[in-house]
Amino acid sequence: MKNLQWRILAVVAIVAVALIYLLPTLSKELPPWWTAVLPSEKIHLGLDLQGGMHLLLEVQTEKAAENRTDRLAEEIKDRFRDAQIRFRQVERQGESGILVSLASGQPWEPVNSIFKEKFPTLDVGARDTTGDQLQVVLQLKANELQHLKNFAVAQGLETIRNRIDQFGVAEPDIRTQGENRILVQLPGIKDTQRAIDLIGKTALLEFKLVDDQNSVNEAVAGKVPPGERVYHGTRVDPATGQVSRTAYLLKDRTLLTGEYLTNAQVQFDRNNQPYVGLSFNDTGAKVFERITGDHVGERLAIVLDDNVYSAPVIQDRIGGGNAMITGHFSMDEAKDLAVVLRAGSLPAPVKILEQRTVGPSLGRDSIRKGLISMAVGGLAVVLFMLVYYRASGVIADLALIIDILLIMAGLAAFRATLTLPGVAGIILTIGMAVDANVLIFERIREELRLGKTPRAAVDTGFDRASITILDANVTTLIAAVVLLQFGTGPIRGFAVTLTLGVLASMFSAIFGTKIVFDYLLQKRRVKTLSI
């Protein structure tokens, strides 16, 4: 008797807890006293049900290494010039090596001491003396390289997060995956192309001088003066849609980069055309002042991701650290450019490895169809149980309802995501949940046929069948656990609902329905079983 009471209490408690976890999903608003203490998260819907975008990016950390090495090479050249060391070549070699070629007759000692004192992150390799030239390869230290790569990924993550924040998505999920991958999930996003552009832009802002002395056309044909490069500027005329490409010959040396920016804002000029106004920090402002002061009359090219935005003539020395990027922008283009400059440039470019986007209408459609299938399938099963097992069928149906309740509550409680295969998993478990009841009821029928009393039949039926049920479900659980381990998003959703469903159905069939039978037999003293 007491045993029965405790069991009933246990089931009631579990159902109550399940309902508590489910309430946030079912009700629109929760009173403050609820949200303070009790769980208040809706069930998370996967992107395939909500609509949204899933993006897997790879940070090209080699580029970050190359950039750092290039900068170090430049620094070495500066130091050499300051110390009047004669050299023929200082060039990056591979990802993280620097080939230093000294002029003939250049003594090694001062070179070596510069390396040792000013460049602690570089390993000095073996010296090679061919002819009268001294050559040595410097290599970035291994742990420094690794540190750099890790930093590139971490910084990339932050930058992308900042960019997305400004874009205004409700519940973005941005995290690293593996050594150099970043996973971005943006539920509910509508303008996927703009988001991809925003995320993928390296946004390296550089200021370089234009070489107006030498001929651009000759450079394009192949005669590029040393230390210079041909860049292009692409412009789309907003009125005609025509794309024009202009070539510029720029001195490759970057004078100023976007890392000195404190702000970038969309502003409007006299013709109400949007442009992006830049503000530099103190250091940047000083550098900018010096550049403009030293090169009045020359043109300063504003280069973003190797694309020349504009190359205005420096009229005068510019103090105060403000600059403008003009370029016939649409409002959206200007806004996005400002966002990307504010959030900072990516330390290394990113490559899109995988993209999955579901439109909101397809998402809603999938939910609707999933619910219809669940209703149809569930109803068919419920009716069958009623007809075939009569009153016991009602008990089995009640157990089924509790199953579904427990699965949904489990999703909410574990913060698991419900995906479309997950809904299929629930539908599958509706079918399988009833299996357990069928096994028990068939066994009870057999025992009754052998002439046992209802009490004995029920007990034996449950005992014998329970073992088979537990057992038979183990193989399904093995499959579910393997899928959980190796599956990606939607598959994992399936594995979760399958696992929850199997466990819930075992619980409600073996434990739950037994309680009802015991109650009927003990308390109500039912004589015959309607089964």
Partner 1 sequence: MELIRPDINIDFVGKRKYAYLLSLSFIIISLVGLVWRGGSLYGIDFAGGTVIQVSFAKPTDPGKIRQGLTAAGLERSAIQRFGGEGENNYLIRTDLAGPEQGNLQDRVKESLEGVYGKEGVTVERVEMVGPSVGHDLRQKALLAVFYATLFIAIYISGRFELKWLPPVIMTAALILGVYTLRVVGLNIPLLILAALLIATALCWVLKLKYALGAVVATIHDVIITAGAIAVAGKEFDLTVLAAILTITGYSLNDTIIVFDRIRENVRKGRRRDFAELVNGSINQVLTRTLLTSGTTLTTILALFFFGGAVIHDFAYTLMVGIIVGTYSSSFVASPVLIEWETRFGKPRPAQGKK
Report the relative pairing of strands 44-45 and 417-418 from DSSP bridges. parallel
Q: 45 with 170: CB under 8 angstroms?
A: no
State the DSSP string of 174-198: EEEETTTEEEEEEET-S-HHHHHHH
Residue 506 tokens read as 């075992």
Closest Cα to residue 119, out of 87, 73, 84? 73
Q: Which is nearer to partner 1, 108 or 486 (CB)?
A: 486
- Which neighbouring-strand residues pair with 124? 138
Q: Kindly state the smallest distance separating residue 305's Cβ from partner 1, in Å.
A: 13
State the minimum distance, in angstroms, from the CB of residue 331 to partner 1: 19
Question: Please, what is the minimum distance in Å from the beta carbon of residue 436 to partner 1?
Answer: 9
Closer residue to partner 1, CB minimum distance, 453 or 488: 488
Q: Which of 72, 75, 118 is nearest to 93 (CA)?
A: 72
Q: At what angle do helices 420-449 and 489-506 cross, to 10 degrees?
A: 20
Query: Cβ 46 to partner 1, closest distance in Å?
Result: 12
Cβ neighbourhood burial of 398 (10 Å; 0-12, 13-18, 19+): middle
Of 61 and 139, which CB lies nearer to partner 1 in the complex structure? 61
Q: How far is the CB of 442 from partner 1 (least distance, A)?
A: 5
Contacts 24+ apart (CB under 8 A), 122-128: 122/72, 122/98
Return the number of the residue (261 or 531) whose C-beta is nearest partner 1.
Answer: 531
CB 97, min distance to partner 1, A: 26
- Write down the least CB distance from residue 477 to partner 1, Å: 7
| Closest distance of CB 153 from partner 1, Å | 16
CB of 469 to partner 1, least distance (A): 9
Contact of 22 with 405, CB cutoff 8 Å: yes
Query: Which positions ≥6 away from 330 have C-beta within 8 Å?
Result: 238, 274
Smallest separation (angstroms) from partner 1 to the CB of 201: 11
User: Could you tell me the smallest distance in angstroms from the CB atom of residue 401 to partner 1?
Assistant: 15
For residue 328, the tally of other CB atoms under 10 A from its CB is: 15
Cβ-based neighbour number of residue 363 at 10 Å = 21
* Identity of the residue, 212 or 442, whose beta carbon is nearer to partner 1 in the bound complex: 442
Residue carrying the six token digits 């489990």: 410
Distance CA 427, CA 404 (A): 9
Q: Which is nearer to partner 1, 85 or 529 (CB)?
A: 529
Of the pair 107, 359, the CB lying nearest partner 1 is at 359
Tokens of 354: 């995988």
Query: Any idea of the CA torsion for 5, 6, 7, 9, to the nearest 10 degrees?
Result: 90
CA distance 311 to 306: 13
Our CB check for partner 1 shows the closer of 156 and 321 to be: 156
Nearer to partner 1, 340 or 439 (CB): 439
Secondary structure (DSSP) of 142-182: HHHHHHHHHHHHHHHHHHHHHHHHHHT-SS-EEEEETTTEE
Closer by beta carbon to partner 1, 193 or else 213: 193
Of 169 and 199, the one with the shorter C-beta distance to partner 1 is: 199
Are 122 and 107 in contact by the 8 Å Cβ rule? The answer is: no
493 to 47, 428, 497: CA distances (angstroms): 11, 13, 6
